[in-house]
Amino acid sequence: MRVLITGGAGFVGSHLCERFLERGDEVFVVDNLSTGSIDNIAHLKGRPGFDYIIDSVENEQLLAEHIDRADVVVHLAAAVGVKLIVEQPVHTIETNVHGTEVVLRIASKKKKLVVIASTSEVYGKSTTVPFSEDADLVLGPSSKHRWAYACSKLIDEFLALAYWKERKLPVIVVRLFNTVGPRQTGQYGMVIPNFVRQALAGEPITVFGDGTQSRSFTYVGDVVNALVALIDEPRAVGRVFNIGNGYEISINDLAEKIKVMTGSRSEIVRIPYDQAYESGFEDMPRRVPDIARIQALTGYKPTVELDEILERVIAHFASSQIK
């Protein structure tokens, strides 16, 4: 199988490249490196069946050429991270909506399978936990830039499913819940890499808000396996799937756990949202997935739990510091 991965030099994308190559598929990556890194795929250079180009999905001629050659397109390219979203809302909306529109329009000409990576952010301020795919979505007002990312990804979902309904383009929409693991950086606000880096450096571990908000974290290897399983399952087409882990932990407890696991003497400091992001910033109190749908279809089950995830991330950061 020939796979085109947009954003393939990113955190999730680079792990997905490895998984497809391991099973003998051909992989081509398009990434403009706005949030990805060439270091993430440097070890794949020269491997049979792997190639990449540094460019944008908005280069329609290039994209058309490579979609034409592909059997499936995994669209991961996006503006990501709360920090980036708050600071650059125009970039966030334009990148996410226009990039996805280009991918779907070109793929539709040859009816190529497209996987659209969405996010748990689309559930917004819903209090119906765990979140299921058919539940109502409760977003904040348009005056709060924090919701620009959720809205842009939700438009991506609507557009993808519209292409399936109206033009019979095979699509699969996946909502990812806090994917973590080696190669993820804290540059755009990802909490675990930020906490681990701070703890190892002896810096204050900065908890935004009061820390009572809770999250569930999914190991990148489990996410990759879920994506591959859905691509291989014809009954997944035209549907939306949560990919996550149901174990929930508060951010306060997460900070304490990382401090203990790293043997750090760092102080845990709480920073109000208004100082961390912007005035009036709103957050989601809980974010926990219902994964019954993907379990029923593919047998998906998370295999790496939080303590082991943290062990792997800590080891990755520690080895990076030694080099």
Per-residue model confidence as pLDDT tens digits over 218-244: 999 999 999 999 999 999 999 999 999
pLDDT of residue 122: 96
**Cis omega (within 30 of 0) on the bond before 130?**
yes
Question: In Å, what is the CA distance from 177 to each residue of 172, 174, 216, 242, 251?
Answer: 16, 10, 7, 7, 15
Over residues 6-29, the pLDDT tens digits come to 999 999 999 999 999 999 999 999
At residue 146 the predicted structure's pLDDT band, cuts being 50, 70 and 90, is confident
Q: What is the pLDDT of residues 290-305, one digit of tens each?
A: 999 999 999 999 999 9
When mean pLDDT is compared across 60-64, 139-143, 209-213, the lowest value belongs to: 139-143
Q: What is the pLDDT of residue 321?
A: 64
pLDDT at 188: 61
Does residue 99 surpass a pLDDT of 90? yes
Rg (alpha carbons) of the chain, rounded to whole number: 19
Does the annotation count 149 as an active-site position? yes
What per-residue confidence (pLDDT) applies to 222?
98
- Rounded to the nearest integer, the mean pLDDT of the chain is 94
Grouping H, G, I as helix, E, B as strand and the rest as coil, residue 274 is: helix
Asked whether 249 and 216 are in contact (CB, 8 A), the reply is yes
pTM listed for this prediction: 0.95
**Percent of the chain predicted with pLDDT > 70:** 98
Q: Please write the tens of the pLDDT for every residue from 152-203.
A: 999 999 999 999 999 999 999 999 999 999 999 866 668 999 999 999 999 9
Cα–Cα dist 46/301, whole Å? 33
From 149, 163, 277, 300, the catalytic residue: 149
Mean pLDDT, residues 137-146 = 90
Tens digits of per-residue pLDDT, 244-290? 999 999 999 999 999 999 999 999 999 999 898 878 888 889 999 99
Q: Which of 188-197, 212-221, 310-319 has the lowest mean pLDDT?
A: 188-197
The span from the CA of 79 to the CA of 84, in Å, is 7
pLDDT at 80 over 90: no
Q: For 2-180+218-246+291-302, which CATH superfamily applies?
A: NAD(P)-binding Rossmann-like Domain (3.40.50.720)
Q: Where are the alpha helices (DSSP H) in the chain?
A: 11-22, 60-69, 82-87, 89-110, 148-167, 191-201, 220-231, 251-262, 273-276, 292-298, 306-322
Cβ–Cβ < 8 Å for 226, 186: no
pLDDT above 80 (res 85): no
User: Greater confidence, 81 or 139?
Assistant: 139
Q: Say which residue, 166 or 95, is predicted with more confidence.
A: 166
For 7, counting Cβ atoms within 10 Å of its Cβ (0-12 exposed, 13-18 middle, 19+ buried), the class is: buried
pLDDT for 323 equals 46
Which pLDDT score is estimated for 125?
93
